[in-house]
Chain A
Amino acid sequence: MNLLIVSYLLGKLSMACAGALLVPLIMALYFGDSCAQAFVISALLAAGLSFAFHRFGSFEDTHITFREGVAVVSGAWLVISFLGAMPYYLSGTLEFISAVFESISGFTTTGATTITSIETVAKSMLLWRSMTHWMGGIGIVVLFIAFLPNIGSGAVHMFNAEVTGPTDDRVVPRIRATSIALCKIYILFTALEAILLFGAGMSFYDCVNHAFSTIATGGFSTYDTSITHFNSPLIEGIIGFFMVLAGGNFALYFSVHKKGLKEFWRDTEFKSYIFLVLIATLLISLNIFAKMGFSGKESLRYAFFQVASIISTTGFVSNDFDVWPAFSKYILVLLMFIGACAGSTAGGIKVSRIVILCKIALAEIRHTIHPSMVTNVTMNGKHVSDTVIAGIGRFFFLYMMLFAGLTLSLASTGLSVTDSIGAIAATISSVGPALGVAGATSTYATISPFGKVVICIAMLLGRLELFTLLVLIRPEFWRSTRNW
């Protein structure tokens, strides 16, 4: 493995992190927060680390194979989780494990929090919190496009031949160009949402934070009660719309921008995604209308917001869904597993995979009736190769196994079964608020340190789509033999 280039890239990343820390630092200095010191030390630490990485690394041999890609991605997440935790820890806001938890939750755009009283935390710290979401989100989009196609089980590979293609050196400029275009869309959406929220009556500070949080499908809010705090249908509508938008495939938006709106309706995944949002909203609103005593309008409003929030794996809360009937909660848990579209900042199994799985399940039934039939699965009118199908089947199995294993580990800390299932389902798919102890109105603060570590692993695994992190535990990965 070419450790030099890995180290070099990690150095770049630490430097970027140090730069990012300056933003909340300036704000802390401007407002005279007590946190300024913590930001200064954190930034210095990041700069120091960056210097060390640069000393060791070099940029002479720029050949990045699959292994380096995985090493950079995994290393980047470790470094950034650690550096991002520093401000929380140094300012005394959180103890060490909780600080790392908060940082990973931020960068993975999960939005699970261990801060029990958000309003008492300094504003600069909350800005940093939202910024971790935003950077994590944009980083993921870029990493997703740049590295995941390598991995074979990458969803992008299947759906956007234009964006991805094989990962030889010659396509690097194109990937970079695409990544830049995606970043532009990302920034545009954020700005648009911030302006709309400002127009709807939020303060400037709140609207920036919530826009960061929404577009990254994160879920950190600046209030304990999340979106319930505003109690405004208009704000819920705007945020709901942007959550659905953020859950869509960014590459699709790019091609819509280029080729026109009809691209939306050509995309099987996007159609299925919108269909899921609508049907889930309908079912839940009927259920809570019947059981919770809301008016028709309220039911629709709460149901839509919550469905948008969960399927896009954001995790904002506009009504305490933990007290909703079990049927509604089941649908929400189902949506947590499904997640939103490939190529977005959302987590979960992804709609495209679910669509393909459903199609092959149907093909299996037809195959049983006609044993010698050759079945063909298509997506957007294109044939999906057997390798991709097999990869998706394995991904689904692995997802479920890891889910079961992590839940078991969490249950060993004494958490109830429902709480463990809810917490892991919500964090492996980067939603955030779960059911029960870590539910809509409570936080992850009460979970034991071991439980927090388990959840951190769940968040990272979910965000990096399992395989990137799991190959690290295989001995072959570390063997110095050359790549086949």
Chain B
Amino acid sequence: MNKRLVMHLWGMIILIFGGCMVLPLLMTILNDENRMAEFGIPVLISITIGLVLTRGINPYKGRLGLREGMLVISGGFLFVCILGMLPFWLAGFPLIDALFESVSGFTTTGASVLGDLSNLHQALLLWRSLTQWLGGLGIIMIFITMVPQVGREALQLFTGELHGESAERLLPRITETMKLLVYLYSGFTCVVTLLFFAAGMNFFEAINHAMAIVSTGGFSIYNDGLRHFHNNTINLLALIFMFIAGGNHVLYFKSYREGLFRLFKDTEFRAYVVLIGVFGLLITIDLYSHDFYSLSSSIFNSFFQTISMSSTSGFAMDNYDAWPDFSKYCLFLLMFVGGCSGSTVGGIKMSRMVILLKLTGQELKRTIHPRMVTTITMAGRIVPTQLISGITRFFFIYITIFFFSATLLALVGDLSMFSAAGIAAACLASVGAAFETVATIAGYTELTNGAKIVAMITMLLGRLEIVTLLVMLHHDFWKKE
């Protein structure tokens, strides 16, 4: 293990992160000088740690191996969550709540324990949204574009961070790809901000919500979220951009170069559209037949919520917890699937689900013809066996972690079975909003401290695609070669 390199890279991450915190610091300077310390101290701490680690350690020794890559990702994520908690803590929130909010932000979950948001000052609200945006982008991705010398080995970081199965390289050099993705992501955020602004939000509202939507996070600066605006244009924009944010960003770049038809040649994207279409329709029928809404608002509410769950954002248009159980169950299942790989969504991801479904069809075929040789293709290319077995294992691990998390939540949180299952699923897939107690993202305030800790661990596991974090627990990981 090349400890020096790992520490150097951690330093880089922390430094960049500290730089980002300057933004809310500036805001406090402009708005309310008394609040300066809340951001000033964390900025000082992160920049000091960052400088010590980057300047004090010579980074050019050795290469970045797989284990180092994983350690950089997981460790970096944890450090950032801990440093990101400081502004909330200094603002007077209990330690666990502050950490929870930070973890929830950086994992783009969007579960909130701060309670009444109208009591918070603007800089803190901005920081909240910014954590999601940064988390969504993957601090690692920013970092790679800034550190071109890492070069080829960065691919491992990339596959660790964006673990979805289509992590293919767009351009020969991974750093180029990363830069492009960052531009795409930032440009996307700007577009959403401008559109929100044009639709009637003020600039501060627009930028906060844009960050939450593009990162599929789910934080809002109002207690009632997007409902606050009572503006159909805004709602429709939110729906469209949540949908886009749930798609593969690499694919968007490809379609930009090769034409829009490229989008629909992609198996995963088609499956994503079909899934949303089918579940949206099912929920529409259920809502309409139970006389919940008029036909048009049934359609709107159902698709809004379907897309919100599927893209793991967690925004809500209405109190869906009061919907019929069938609709709630559909939403619950959508949380497991999530959106496409190569985006900021959590969950099992469409590409894996498609491969698993194809695998099942194949198994039935092979049951009839036991000696048949079969292959599975995605977008016309054969999926290697190694990858397939990895996916089935991932599925098992995912479900097992879900079960453990739900059971523990029921124990330490004194929750009903469905509440616990909802929280576990929502945290693992970085959705945030679930059912019953936590039907709104602010419902997490009512959880016990034990439950908050379990939820936090679940969020981290889900965000880092479980295995990246679990390998650290294996003694082989720390062994010297």
Residues of A within 8 A of B (CB): 66-67, 151-153, 287, 325-327, 329-331, 333-334, 357-358, 360-361, 364-366, 368-371, 386, 389-391, 393-394, 396-398, 400-401, 404, 407-408, 411-412, 414-418, 420-421, 435, 467, 470-471, 474, 476-477, 483-484
Contacts and interface: CB of A to CB of B under 8 A. Distances in A.
A327 B368 contact: no
A366 B406 CA distance: 26
Contact of A369 (B326, B328, B471): B471
A369 B67 contact: yes
Interface stretch (B113-121, B208-216, B226-234, B394-402): B394-402
Nearest to A477: B368
B177 interface: no
15 contacts: A152-B367, A329-B417, A334-B407, A358-B400, A365-B471, A368-B467, A396-B399, A397-B395, A398-B363, A400-B395, A400-B399, A408-B326, A408-B333, A417-B325, A417-B418
Nearest to B279: A408
Interface in B384-421: 388-390, 392-397, 399-400, 403, 406-407, 410-411, 414-418, 420-421
B407 A331 contact: yes
B369 A467 contact: no
B367 A394 contact: no
Contacts of B382: none
B369 A364 contact: no
B358 to A, nearest CB: 11
Given A331-B407, A471-B367, A474-B368, A416 B325 contact: yes
Contacts of A393: 389, 392-393, 395-396
Top 3 A-B pairs, shortest CB-CB distance: A393-B392, A326-B410, A327-B411
A361 B396 contact: yes
B369 A484 contact: yes
A418 B393 contact: no
A420 B325 contact: yes
Contacts of A366: 474, 476
A417 B329 contact: yes
Nearest to B336: A404
A471 B421 CA distance: 32
A152 B471 contact: no
A484 B396 contact: no
Contacts of B471: 365, 368-369
Contacts of B169: none
Interface of B: 66-67, 70, 286, 324-326, 328-330, 332-333, 356-357, 359-360, 363-372, 388-390, 392-397, 399-400, 403, 406-407, 410-411, 414-418, 420-421, 435, 467, 470-471, 474, 476-477
Nearest to A400: B399
Given A361-B400, A400-B399, A484-B369, A330 B359 contact: no
Q: Is the interface of B mostly helix, strand, loop or mixed?
A: helix
A484 B420 contact: no
Nearest to A409: B326
Contact of B359 (A386, A394, A417): A394
Contact of B393 (A325, A361, A477): A361
B166 to A, nearest CB: 19
Given A393-B395, A477-B368, A414 B329 contact: no
A198 B400 CA distance: 42
A222 B460 CA distance: 50
A475 to B, nearest CB: 10
B410 A330 contact: yes
Contacts of A407: 329
B398 to A, nearest CB: 10
A374 to B, nearest CB: 12
B433 to A, nearest CB: 15
Contacts of A397: 356, 359-360, 392, 395
Given A330-B406, A412-B286, A417-B418, A396 B326 contact: no
A330 B416 CA distance: 10
B66 A364 contact: no
A20 B474 CA distance: 57
Contacts of B367: 66, 151-153, 467, 471
Contact of B364 (A357, A411, A470): A470
